[in-house]
Structure formats: structure tokens, C-alpha cells
A and B are shown apart, each in its own frame.
Chain A
Amino acid sequence: MTDHGHAGEGLLEVEGLTIVLRHRHRPPATIARDVSLRVNAGEIVGLIGESGSGKTMTAKSLIGLLPDRMEVVSGHARFRGRDLLHGGDPARVRGRDIALIPQDALHALNPVKTIGWQVGEPLQVHGGLRQRRIATVVGDLLERVHIPDARRRAVDYPHQFSGGMQQRALTAMALSMEPPLILADEPTTALDVTIQAEIIDLIGELRDATGASFLFISHDLALVSSFCDRIYVMYAGEIVESGTRDAIFSHTRHPYTRALIGAAPRLAGNPERLPTIPGRIPQPHEEIRGCRFRERCPEAGAACGEAPRLDTADGDHAFRCWYA
């Protein structure tokens, strides 16, 4: 376990983070609004949301990788007590303190560089290691993510790896500087389900072995229900519910979370019709008065005309709803 010396405080603390997308002709659109989240040392935390919920941009803002026209307009993000958003060079944090495992493994790898070179690149950029030492470390890393015949295959190019192996290589790359926090951005979306299960298993194994924390970003509530310690659910740029896995799935409070859980089909015992959420997710530029889920919410009432705050009910379990 990494000892970060801030007892009782999270490894990563995000508070009131708001990200906007600037338009040339339109008023700015809010991509993420007042997002607060915490990742403790050694935790796997899930950040869940459908497309357009702002989950990926929230994560990218932490390492300064927002697209050109997006920017953080308010809020704080502290990593081990150090401010990530204001001052400081995000390039120094990236890969060293906070690493990223990207989605779509094939396209996330440079096609003209060998796997070994790419896995070792953070060591080249951040570490003062000698070439030969890097080669050894890279071999160890590839072995650690269970790439068979790792040392020999380090000289292969990405297209010579299968999808699952590419994702393993990207995981090794994220581990190379032994960062305390790893952001995993839908790392299994492009993979077959059996391979997906392998990668999930690998992440759990690496957490146990290295003590690193993971912020696991996904659109798949079912997937994260199997292995995340705590979960944040995002809807239309806001966190609507957060808590331990048990709290989220066994004591669901927010109507959106409940609807999302119900909407996923099961292997067996499905109802004749799946419960659905009427309407569609509001676009970031749409002005909405009150609760952003109100229009689609089966439980909406008079109070919803005013935007609810993210309230903590019992212990760690919080939700953004007047009626929950």
C-alpha cells in the first residue's frame, strides 16, 4: 500500500469541478457541473455515465487533456493535497503521478513503434534510467500483465498483438512509473466479453499487488457492479448518486440510478418489457431549470423545480434528489 501521509484524506479530492465547452456563436455549454469525487489509496472507484454525461471529460481535466475549446471554470482537484488544476505543469503529473489506460487499444498505440518502446516511454520521459535498465523494466512490466513470452514480444509492433494483449500492454504502460492513481477510460469497451473479464481481473490483481488506486470510467453499470469499491453515477454533467457498491446497488436512492439498473437486461428472469427512461439525455447547451433529470423522472414532484444538492444521507452514500 502506498502511504501518502494524509490520513483520512483521499488520494484524489475533486471539489465543485465545472467544465464548459466554449462556442463561437453560442453561449458556452456546461459539460460537467459541480462535480465532487474522492479516490482513496488502494481503491477502485467507478465513474459511471451514459454518453454525454461528462464522465470522460471530468477524468481528462485532471491530467490537463481537455480538448481545445473546453476548460475548467471552477472547482478544485487535489492530488495528495497538491492542486492539479491551477498552476503546475500537467505534463509532469501525467504518467508519473496519474496514468491513463485509454480505450480502443489498437488505436491507442502508435503503429510504427514497438510495444516495448511505448511501454518504456514514460521511463524515458520521467525517469533518469539507462536504456538497458529500461528494457529490463519493460520486460518485467509485460510479464506482470501476463503477456506470454513477454521479453521476446516486446519488440513486436501493435498490429502483431491481439486486442486483449494490446490492452494488457497499455496497462503495463500505465504501471511503468508506479503511479499511485490510474485513470482507466472504458478500457474494455472494444473487447470481447471473455477478454473483458480477464482485463477486469487483471486490474483487481494489480491493485492488490501495487496498492495503486483506479478511477474506472465506464458506461456499463453492470460491469462496474462486479468489482468497484465505490461508485459515482453521472447524469447530464452532474453526479447524481455516489456510494459503496453495496449502497448503490442494494440501497439505490436516485431514480436515475434505479432506472439505469432496471434498463439492463439479465441473463435470465427478464420482465416482458424492460423498464425504460422516457425521453433522452439533455444536451450540454440546453438550459434546464431545477433538477436535470426532472423531465424524465417518474417520481418528479413540485420540489424538483429547484435544483437539488448532492446530499449525504448515511455515511458515504450521497444522492441528488429531493424525494429519494
Chain B
Amino acid sequence: MRFAVGMPDAMLLVARNLSRTFRGRGLLRRGGDVRALRQVSFSLAKNQTLGIVGESGSGKSTLLRAILRLTPYDSGSLAFDGAEIATLSGAALKDLRRRVQPVFQDPYATFNPRFSIGSSIALGFELLGEHRRQDIREEVRRLLDDVGLDPDLERTLPHELSGGQRQRAAIARALAVRPDLLLLDEPTSALDVSVQAQVLNLFKDLRRRYGFSLILVTHDLPVVGFMCDHLLVMKSGEVVERGATANVIGNPVSAYTRALIRSAPEVSGKKTQPVARQ
């Protein structure tokens, strides 16, 4: 199913038959191989939002790390704005680093514990190199305000903030370099429901304001239902289903997607159905 309509040049990210196998370790190496990605294909148009859903071991994190070029892939192609990610170097790699920004699951661990929040966010502006030193502080404060944090929090250390505040700060840091694509790795699964709602709304607001594309990796189908136009369901390294979110959820084709939908808890008093027992 092709869901990325539009001109080919409007494609921000295209994956074709992407594969990655982790070799098992050990002397005899019998059967230890894990095929994290098997022939994964999808594309993401500019200004689109894509949710990648899967449970542990589905390969969704490996895919995300491949896009960030934190891990290589064995075969297939993965192109960002027409350039193969694996072959980027020098200025082109620097460009990728700026244009694609992650927001990770555990907001605490993504901050260097020795630096203040403001200083961690300022780093992005320094790397961008478009601001004079004395202006950076003002930019940091403006950005903190944008993500709904008190600008005076710039001086606090990561451990002094709450989980929701840290995740907002992490978003501010990612936005400092004005990325074209934001990769969110379970960005709210460590947060309470009420804080999750705030952060998810924030993503929507910021997207309108900053105009970035977005890939959201999660195990939580309702979050994708709220956030994303398109959906990719992964299981054991394979794409089992993809399409417009409303279509997939309303009319799932694969048994696994149906199981995921059945298991997803929703406030309604409806009973969750267990999938067939192993």
C-alpha cells in the first residue's frame, strides 16, 4: 500500500528493503543471530507524521537508530532527502545531524548530569553557529518559554526537574538546531497520563509553529491514533501493516494488528481481549 502521495522530491525519508541482522556472539555462534530489520520499506513525505508501532523486539528502535546513523544497516537503502544515510560524511553528515533530531524515552538520561538545562540547550545554538554568543542565552530562554517551561529553569540541573519538565527541555534542545525531522522514541511512556497529554499537545503545537516532520516510535497504539497521520506496524523486524492511521485502526488487515488493537486499553469500560496464548 502506497500512502506517501505527492511528488517524489517531496519525500523526506525513503527506506527500501532495509535489513539488519545482529550476529550472535560466541565461539560456535549457533542460532544466536537476531534479524532486527527484514526488508523494511516505507516513505515519509515532508510535513508528514508517521507512527511506528511494535512491541519489544519488533525492530522499531533499530530502525530509528539507523535513521539517526547511530547503527548501520546490512542491505537495502535508507535515504534522507535523497541522500543515502550510510554514505554521508563530512558536511553532509553534519547536515543530517542538524536536520534530524531525536527525543528519547527517558528524559533524565538524555541530559549530561553535570550541565545545567540551559547549557545543554545552548549547545545546539552554538553548533548551529548562527547566533552571537551573547544572544544565545536569550534564544535559550525563548525556546524554554516555547516548550512551556519557565525560562528561569535554565540554571537548574537535570535531576532538579520533574519528568515532564525534562522531556520539555529535551524537546527544546532538539528544536534549537531547527530540525526538519523529529524522531520520537517512546517520548511519553515514562510520563503520567496527564503529563503525557500536555507533552503530546506540545508536539502538535510546535509542529504547527516550526513545521517539522515527525516519526513517533511507540508501543502505545492510542498515542499514534492521536498523533500520526500514517502508521507502520512492525513485528519481529518486519512491517506487517502500513497505511493511513484511521484506515489501519478502523480496518486492520493483519492478525497481529488486530491483536494490538484488541489489547490496547482504552477508557470505555470495554473488556480487553487477550491474544491467543503461546
Contact = CB atoms under 8 A, between A and B. Distances in A.
A73 interface: no
Given A194-B263, A222-B266, A225-B265, A270 B278 contact: no
Interface residues of A, number: 44
A93 B195 CA distance: 37
Contact of A263 (B164, B194, B268, B269): B194
A240 to B, nearest CB: 13
For the residues of B in contact with A, the DSSP-based class is: helix
Interface string A216-254: 000111110111000000000000000001100110000
A280 interface: yes
Contacts of B196: 263
Nearest to B190: A51
B10 interface: no
Interface in B189-231: 192-198, 200-201, 204, 219-223, 225-227
Contacts of A275: 197
B18 to A, nearest CB: 23
Given A226-B271, A274-B197, A268 B225 contact: yes
B5 interface: no
B268 A192 contact: no
Given A197-B275, A264-B193, A264-B222, A276 B269 contact: no
A263 B197 contact: yes
Contacts of B221: 193, 267
Nearest to B223: A265
Given A194-B275, A198-B274, A260-B193, A265 B260 contact: no
A70 interface: no
B133 interface: no
Given A192-B56, A225-B267, A268 B246 contact: yes
Given A148-B278, A193-B221, A261 B272 contact: no
A201 interface: yes
Interface in B217-264: 219-223, 225-227, 246, 249-250, 259-264
A227 B195 CA distance: 24
B225 A276 contact: no
A266 B222 contact: yes
B265 A270 contact: no
B225 A270 contact: yes
A201 B274 contact: yes
B272 A200 contact: yes
A267 B193 contact: no
A65 interface: no
Interface in A187-229: 192-198, 200-201, 219-223, 225-227
A264 B194 CA distance: 8
A146 interface: yes
B55 A194 contact: yes
A50 interface: yes
Contacts of B222: 222, 264-267, 270
A249 B267 contact: yes
A66 interface: no
Interface string A45-57: 0000011000000
Interface of B: 55-56, 162-164, 192-198, 200-201, 204, 219-223, 225-227, 246, 249-250, 259-275, 277-278
11 contacts: A192-B55, A194-B274, A196-B263, A223-B272, A225-B267, A259-B194, A264-B222, A266-B222, A266-B266, A266-B267, A274-B226
Give 10 closest A-B pairs by Cβ, nearest first. A265-B226, A192-B55, A263-B197, A197-B263, A50-B192, A201-B274, A222-B265, A274-B197, A223-B265, A265-B222
